[in-house]
Amino acid sequence: MEDLVDAHNASTEHLKSLTDQIQRCEAKLMDLEDRSRRSNIRLRGIPETILPADLPSYIHSFFKLLTPEIPTDMLLLDRLHRVPKPQHIATSLPRDVLLKAHYFHVKDLLMKRSRTVKDLPAEYTSIKMFSDLSAATLKQRKTFQQVTETLRANRILYRWGFPVRLIVSRNGTTTAVQTAEEGILLLRQWNLTVIGDTQAPKPPRQVVKDWHIAD
């Protein structure tokens, strides 16, 4: 029995080590892919009636409204095209437009202005702008859903960091959360009720040599 327990505990430790290595590799790959996309912008809500030949001038006019102080030659786009529509998206909705801005600081300014500029012409009011993130990053961010919903319900500010982590600001203190489990633990420490709280599955544990021979 002692030999079996030793073998089990060794396997458990090895499994934990391999799991940690895989998670570090996945985080590095996500970070590399997201860095390769950091100049991309995904635009949602551009009608399909805007033909491919008319997209560049349409988008340049939109960007000029957002950043009138930027010279036209700085609004250079390396690529611009529509992307296939995911299966869960309604067929009536237009396909997203994906583009790569030549200058990153211009892309960064456009993203900020898209959240603040109001009173746009009617032809542009339906457009929403998003950063282009990898599928793995979006999937990992989704694991934080309970945490982000609880933060929003309690009006606590947060933002996303790279590689995927949640940066929470509360009472003048900033805390970086690496996993959803860490986030839930932090919320409990703040005595906040976690929305949809459930117990996470327990990882494999070691066996303790705690037995005796019956008389």
Provide the mean pLDDT of the chain.
89
At residue 114, the pLDDT reads 93
With 0-12 CB in 10 A as exposed, 13-18 as middle and 19+ as buried, what is 73?
Answer: exposed
Share of the chain above pLDDT 70, in %: 93
Write out 16-31 in H/E/C secondary structure: HHHHHHHHHHHHHHHH
Q: Are 167 and 175 in contact (CB under 8 A)?
A: yes
Indicate the CATH number of 38-132 among 3.40.50.850, 1.10.3720.10, 3.40.980.10, 3.30.70.1820: 3.30.70.1820
Closest CA relative to residue 83, chosen from 111, 102, 109, 55? 55
Confidence of residue 85 (pLDDT cuts 50, 70, 90): confident
Query: Has this prediction a pTM greater than 0.85?
Result: no
pLDDT beyond 80 at 54: yes
Write out 65-102 in H/E/C secondary structure: HHCCCCCHHHCCEEEEEECCCCCCCCCCCCCCEEEEEC
Confidence of residue 118 (pLDDT cuts 50, 70, 90): confident
Query: From edge to edge, which strands make up the β-sheet containing 173-177?
Result: 157-161, 165-170, 173-177
Sequence spans of domains, the chain: 2-35+136-189, 38-132
At residue 4, the pLDDT reads 87
177: number of Cβ within 10 Å: 20
Instruction: Express each pLDDT in 152-206 by its tens digit.
Output: 999 999 999 878 889 999 988 999 998 899 999 999 999 998 887 665 556 667 7
Query: Under CATH, which number does the domain 2-35+136-189 receive?
Result: 3.30.250.20
Confidence of residue 87 (pLDDT cuts 50, 70, 90): confident
At residue 213, the pLDDT reads 57
At residue 36, the pLDDT reads 92
- Quote the distance between the C-alpha of residue 73 and its chain's center: 31
